[in-house]
Amino acid sequence: MSITDILSPSDIAAALRDCQAPDSFSPKKFFQISGMSKKSSSQLKEIFRILDNDQSGFIEEDELKYFLQRFECGARVLTTSETKTLLAAADHDGDGKIGAEGIN
């Protein structure tokens, strides 16, 4: 399954355009523009599975910097501060990684 089976390619493109400049990525805004904030729990779990590059069941900080590239291979890498902001927003138990519940 591809992420475009769940999210509209045009919504993904709009979300990526919105955060092209370094340090312009906002997790909440990206989730809204991409349509992720409107998806069901099961759809979000499928998106998580796609984003979990090593299929460990968690998205670790080193995977997060490539977050945008999981939506489009030519997208930019997140900056260190953006990566830390995304991790802080979704790491509900403070273990330094995001579980599937973190993207709800």
Binding residues for Ca(2+): 52, 54, 56, 58, 63, 91, 93, 95, 97
Under 8 Å between Cβ of 78 and 25 = yes
Residues annotated as binding site?
Answer: 52, 54, 56, 58, 63, 91, 93, 95, 97
- Rounded (to 5) percent helix, strand, coil in the chain: 55, 5, 40
Q: Is-contact 3 48, C-beta < 8 A? A: no
Closest CA to 47 of 4, 91, 94: 4
